Chain A
């Protein structure tokens, strides 16, 4: 079955760009009508949806983050990525990638990766 694994720097300096990659294994990122999502969780807080992308490259973002977020997909590597620009301490969080089978039904999640902005 499909598994997801986040990777990327655990420490990012303020004003820089946070970059994370999610590698999909056990299946092709192009199979099925799935969206591939990024979600984050601030320390001790709730979940926040960042955005998602279809394998065609169509990406959609949370209005609250839209100005700073880019989600891209590399079908040749079976990966999708997150870039969040102009980060501040408020972007410190655990970042998860997930497979969304339809409109918020995320049935496969990565283990999450902690990113600290400092």
Chain B
């Protein structure tokens, strides 16, 4: 069964900490994405990557960075966590050879910044 795995289901961090969210996919997909889901706002794209070491800003990149050193792994970094970054974070991947827009999502990481 193909998978996108997010390292933590729940995470609590302190304001000002540097936070790493990890995502791994086992489908050899070229494209990977980080979204956050907030009530009333839906899913908003933070960053995406269409190749190793490549990254593109999404709609809300401020306060975040990403790293993609290997094809299967895409990391989201909160440089200095703030309470407004409390959210559900969803990682997704897709193949340029698969269904157009057919993302496979991970189960999400619920991050709380205190």
Say whether A associates with B.
no
B residues near A (Cβ < 8 Å) are none
Q: Which A residues contact B (CB, under 8 angstroms)?
A: none
